[in-house]
C-alpha cells in the first residue's frame, strides 16, 4: 500500500530534550516536506526537500532541522524543543513534476501530535 508513515504519532516531552520525528514514504517520491498545523494559523511549511541531499527552508524553519540522506526518509529534528513547538506535524511527499502540466499529487502522513511542556 502506498503510504507516508510518521512516528511517533503522539509525544509529550519536556523543554530542551532533543527529539526526532521520522517520516518514510514507499512511493519513490523525490519531493518531501514537513508542515505544522496550529489553530487559527492553518498549515505552514517548515522545510522541504526536492531530492536526496537537497533541502530548503519553508515559512517557519526556526528551531527545526532536517536531513535527506535517503530518498525514502525525511526526519524532522527538534534539537531543543520549546513549548511554542507544541503542534500537529505532518510529513508529505509527491513525485517530481514532469513538465508544467504534469505535476504530482501530494500525499500526507497521518500526523504527529507533539506537546512540549
Partner 1 sequence: GIQVEQSPPDLILQEGANSTLRCNFSDSVNNLQWFHQNPWGQLINLFYIPSGTKQNGRLSATTVATERYSLLYISSSQTTDSGVYFCAVRASGTYKYIFGTGTRLKVLA
Residue 58 beta carbon to partner 1: minimum distance, rounded to whole angstroms: 8
Dist CA 85 CA 106 (whole Å): 24
**Residue 45, interface with partner 1 (CB under 8 A)?**
yes
Q: Which range binds partner 1 by CB under 8 A, 13-21, 38-46, 62-70, 74-82?
A: 38-46
Residue 73 beta carbon to partner 1: minimum distance, rounded to whole angstroms: 20
Peptide bond connecting 33 to the previous residue in cis, omega within 30 degrees of 0: no
Phi, psi of 81 (to 5 degrees): -60, 145
Give Cα 39 to chain centroid, integer Å. Answer: 18
Residue 16 beta carbon to partner 1: minimum distance, rounded to whole angstroms: 26
Alpha helices, DSSP H, located in the chain: none
**Residue 53, interface with partner 1 (CB under 8 A)?**
no
**Residue 58, interface with partner 1 (CB under 8 A)?**
yes
Residues 59-98 that bind partner 1 (CB under 8 A): 88, 90, 97
Dist CA 95 CA 6 (whole Å): 18
Dist CA 27 CA 21 (whole Å): 19
- Residues lying near partner 1 in the complex (CB under 8 A): 31, 42-43, 45, 48, 50, 58, 88, 90, 97, 100-101, 103-108, 110-111, 113
Amino acid at each position: 500500500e502506498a503510504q507516508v508513515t510518521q512516528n511517533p504519532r503522539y509525544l509529550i516531552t519536556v523543554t530542551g530534550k532533543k527529539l526526532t520525528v521520522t517520516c518514510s514514504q514507499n512511493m519513490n517520491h523525490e519531493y518531501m516536506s514537513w508542515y505544522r498545523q496550529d489553530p487559527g494559523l492553518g498549515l505552514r511549511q517548515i522545510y522541504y526537500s526536492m531530492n536526496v541531499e537537497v533541502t530548503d527552508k519553508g515559512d517557519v524553519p526556526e528551531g527545526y532541522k532536517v536531513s535527506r540522506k535517503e530518498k525514502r526518509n525525511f526526519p524532522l529534528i527538534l534539537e531543543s524543543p520549546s513549548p511554542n513547538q507544541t503542534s500537529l506535524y505532518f510529513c508529505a511527499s509527491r513525485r517530481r513534476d514532469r513538465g508544467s502540466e504534469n505535476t504530482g499529487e501530494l500525499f500526507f502522513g497521518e500526523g504527529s501530535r507533539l506537546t512540549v511542556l
